A = this chain, B = another copy of it.
């Protein structure tokens, strides 16, 4: 912090963050070096270190932007006066759209290195994840109270829903025939109505 800092060049910082997300997503966090990021972004190592003290800081910037973005996008999209079913569908579709639009940051943040070991996650990552899960549980609990949902274990129902969305980054092909929101819409229908027929005769 000594001397004057020049106004950071937004373009360079954007290039650094995009390159880093791409490398974290394709090679993993651990296998990516500061040198790789500088080379990929077309900046010198000294410029890179001028903006970020280390790789962890770059990672944190990427994931906090996308994590905050997800929670905000979903909270904003949820319709206020709506059934729990409508809210659940919006929750699932909005999450999937956000995933699609931020796929590389999402993959970076989802890496096992960060998420399979609580100790490695920053407190902020945990808080964001927890508040995201709670948003979903509130929808499910509301639905149970209103008699819209029959769920014996809200936590587990939430897990199943999040699992379907969380696993998408492992197989989703952006060039495929359906976009992520359509897939989430199908998932919603399956979880809401089940795959066995709902007949009058039943």
Contact = CB atoms under 8 A, between A and B. Distances in A.
Binding site secondary structure of chain A: helix
Given A160-B164, A164-B164, A195 B190 contact: no
Query: Which of A115, A166, A187, A194 has the most C-beta atoms of chain B within 10 angstroms of its own C-beta?
Result: A194
Interface residues of A, number: 47
Number of identical monomers bound together in the oligomeric complex = 2
A3 interface: no
Contacts of A112: 28, 111-112, 170
Interface string A191-202: 111111110001
A190 B148 contact: no
Given A112-B112, A167-B163, A192 B195 contact: yes
Given A157-B195, A163-B166, A163-B168, 14 more contacts: A85-B196, A116-B169, A116-B170, A143-B195, A148-B197, A150-B195, A156-B183, A160-B191, A166-B170, A191-B194, A191-B195, A192-B194, A192-B195, A193-B194
Closest 9 CB pairs of A and B: A194-B194, A163-B167, A193-B194, A163-B164, A150-B197, A149-B195, A160-B164, A163-B163, A151-B195
20 contacts: A26-B117, A30-B30, A30-B31, A112-B112, A112-B170, A115-B170, A116-B169, A116-B170, A148-B197, A151-B195, A153-B186, A156-B186, A160-B191, A163-B163, A163-B168, A190-B191, A191-B195, A192-B195, A193-B196, A198-B198
